[in-house]
């Protein structure tokens, strides 16, 4: 698989981007908005990094971790009762976790096929 082509990573990027920019039209506490922007942006960064370096299995785990943090952020930030704000965090976080886990096998196969060397 070549750079920029793993769809699972793009799904995580879109989910993170949606979580981060949804703070523009959603109303919540400053803590909830901050957590959504930070964890959403972290999903975007790790997703793009994973797309650029598709054999780097650790980045798939980083996507899963960032997404899991977004998923649990309504409880961490005490905004689970804020309706849509919490639902966006839960849905985008869950989508990112599933996408990151789904991309683990292709990343490991690529790493094994190429002996761990990075693409040029």
**pLDDT tens figures, 10-66:** 999 999 999 999 999 998 899 999 999 999 999 999 999 999 988 889 999 999 999
- State the residue range of the domain holding 14: 7-113
CB contact set of 92 (below 8 Å; sequence gap of 6+) = 15, 16, 18, 19, 40, 43, 67, 70
Structurally, how many domains does the chain consist of? 1
Q: pTM for this structure?
A: 0.88
Token pair for residue 74?
């309504």
Cα 113 to its chain centre, rounded Å, is 26
Residue 15 within any structural domain of the chain: yes
Q: How confident is the model at residue 120 (pLDDT cuts 50, 70, 90)?
A: very low
Question: Does residue 100 sit within a domain?
Answer: yes
Is 95 among the domain residues?
yes
Question: Residue 33: in which H helix or E strand, if any?
Answer: helix 30-52
Q: Residue 89 above 70 pLDDT?
A: yes
Whether pLDDT at 70 is above 80: yes
In a domain? residue 119: no
Query: What's the CA gap between 110 and 12, in Å, rounded?
Result: 19
Banded model confidence at residue 107, pLDDT cuts 50, 70, 90: confident
Rg (CA), the chain: 15
| Lowest-confidence pick of 62-66, 89-93, 106-110 | 106-110
With tokens 């799904």, the residue in question is: 11
The reply to whether 118 falls in a domain is no
Q: Decide: helix, strand or coil at residue 81.
A: coil
In a domain, 21, yes or no: yes
Domain assignment of residue 59, yes or no:
yes
Cα 74 off chain centre by? 16
Distance CA 35, CA 103 (A): 25
Provide the mean pLDDT of the chain.
Answer: 90
Q: Residue 94 domain-assigned?
A: yes
């Amino acid at each position: 698989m070549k750079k920029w082509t793993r769809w699972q990573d793009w799904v995580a990027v879109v989910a993170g981007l949606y979580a981060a920019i949804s703070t523009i039209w959603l109303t919540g506490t400053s803590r909830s908005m901050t957590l959504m922007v930070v964890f959403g942006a972290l999903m975007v960064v790790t997703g793009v990094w994973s797309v650029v370096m598709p054999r780097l299995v650790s980045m798939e785990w980083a996507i899963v971790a960032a997404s899991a943090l977004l998923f649990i952020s309504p409880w961490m930030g005490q905004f689970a009762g804020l309706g849509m704000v919490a639902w966006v965090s839960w849905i985008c976080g869950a989508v990112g976790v599933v996408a990151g886990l789904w991309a683990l096998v292709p990343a490991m196969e690529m790493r094994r096929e190429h002996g761990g060397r990075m693409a040029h």
